[in-house]
Structure 1
Amino acid sequence: MYKVDLPVDESALRAVERRRAAEAERKNRIFNSRSRVIGVDLRALHKQREEKQERLEMDKQRDMAHDLLRLSLDEMAMQQKKGEEELRRELAQDLVQYRAIHQRAEDSRDADVNYGRQAAPGASISVSGSALGPASMQVFLGEGMNENEKKKAQMEMNERNLRAQKEEREKQGREQKNRDLRAVQLKALEEKCKRAAHIALSQYNQAQAEERMEREQQERLRREGEELAEVRYMVTSDLLTERPEAAKRKTKSSAEGPRVLTDRWKGMTPQQISEIHRKREEQCLEKERLREMERQRDVAWDYHLTEQARQQEREKNRDKELNRERRIQLDKYNQQLAREHQAHQHYLDKQLYTNRPTVHYFTQFNTSSR
């Protein structure tokens, strides 16, 4: 036979490699405790990654929008600033033009002083003094127009004011006198009224005092009469007498006997006292009898308790004896079980389990995924 180089089957090799790769992947998946026990949610991870990308994209778009808005606001601010500067420049030009037209230095009041001009001789002021202000410096004190007429009018006005003040003072004096006279009359009338009221009050108080004295006298007479009647009643009544019958009142029922009146009771009779002593002796005897019965009952109850305690003690001793015997039997049974267990353990160690596994025995497990 001649050696012939046969072509290698590539499909078989690929199948073997594919199975080897699948086996390796399966081993990694099975022997990886994290993947096997906890696991990984790929779908959730992909979703989180997509959400993060969307969030980053939204942040990027928002930043771009903010940049555009900032640029537009800056441009608007620059335009507004430029407009304000233009308006300020126009206002300054208008002010300069107004001053050049309406506020020239040649038209001022002190232009003749500044520019060496003189007023025409004999010029007079045609404006009235009231129309000129204090800063005009055209009319001074004592140099105004119609000064004499003004002084004369001022003197006449002063005279009229003095006459009016004098008349006013005279009028006030007359009114003051009238008021004083009226006050004196009112005071006299008030004193008269006070005297009349005082007299009336004195008469009323006197009448009240007389009436009170009359009432007190009548009350005293009535009280004295009542006291005398009470003394007479006490002397003549059964309250101060020594009759026992006065303290008894007959009732409608004869079975009840006479009723004792506590406010007139004078004491008990010898028969009543002897009856009370007899009742007391009977009560003492009855109490002694009851005390003897109570003592006998206590003795019987103590004897019963003693017998019951003895019975309980006997029961307790019997229970102790039974427990001791039960414990002895239990100890014997436990010893028997211990001997049997020891014999069984000796059988397992010396006869049954004599072939111990080596390390090679444990390493043959978990070597394949199948």
Structure 2
Amino acid sequence: MYKVDLPVDESVQQAVERRRAAEAERKGRIFNTRDRVIGVDLRALHKQQEEKRERLEMEKQRDMAHDLLRLSLDETTLQQKKEEEELRRELARDLVQYRAIHQRAEDSRDADINYDRQEAPDASISVSDSALGPASMQVFLGEGINENEKKRAQMEMNERNLRAQKEEREKQEREQKNKELLTDRELVEKDLRAVQLNALEEECKRVARIALSHYNQAQAEERMEKERQEKLRREGEELAEVRYIVTSDLLTERPEAAKRITESSAEGPRVLTDRWKGMTPQQISDIHRKREEQCFEKERLREMERQRDMAWDYHLTEQVRQQEREETRDKELQRERRVQLDKYNQQLAREQQAHQHYLDRQLYTNRPTVQYFTQFNTSSR
């Protein structure tokens, strides 16, 4: 027979592994001292969650602020790049224009000769035919005439071109300096304008304050003038009243101010103006009597008011004394309660010390060793 490799059933092994893993997890959960003894502090966990949430929110806001700052910096960088590219394009255009105007190929010194050809020898130098040979003719008839004048003219032209380039560069530098000066001047003018505007604003505020002060002063003067006019009016009315009283029939005893009569008539009671000679002694005595009665009544009312005030003061004093006595009684009761509480606490402390002494010296005399505790909780079952 041939040996055949049959597949091994691993379900039993997997079940054993699952049970072992569950047992290990259960041991870790049961033998965890924090969960078994201390327990879970929900308030601390909630506080940690709240702090974590706040931290995440702060980090989110900080990331958003960084993103906004990054976007603003990117926009600024892009704007600077655009400005630099625009400046480069302007410089390139100026360079191309300068080359097209001042550095043309037809104005160069060697524009009329071939660049691949070497410089021709000077015709003034005498070269023998034996040195050149019949096939080495490089100097021909008519060539090299006025070469020195041409070189001199070319050098002068180069000098003029260099001078023109130098002047153009100096001109550009002056223009750049002028631009910078104009820019600085504009900035200075803006600063001066801002300072002037601030000064004008302060001046306007000062003028407004002065106007308001003048307005308030005018209002005060107008009110004082009204009060003065009102005072003068009242004084005039009082003087007129005094003058009227002094010049009235009551004090002047004018003959036309007759006394009243009681006989009836068709028109009612009337006064005979030709018979009045002043007040009678009876009327004067009645006036004095009524005045004395009024003084007595006023003195009686004043005495009643004084007695009522004294009674009210005595009542308030009694209330204050009663309140002070109650406060003293409360303080005494609190002191007695504190003393009793201290005695009770001392008695409890002595009882607890005696109980602890009994536990330590009489009851728990056989202390368990470490081996006693290690024999428990060796398994989760």
TM-score where L is the length of structure 2: 0.29
Greater C-alpha Rg: 1
Query: TM-score if structure 1 supplies the norm length?
Result: 0.29
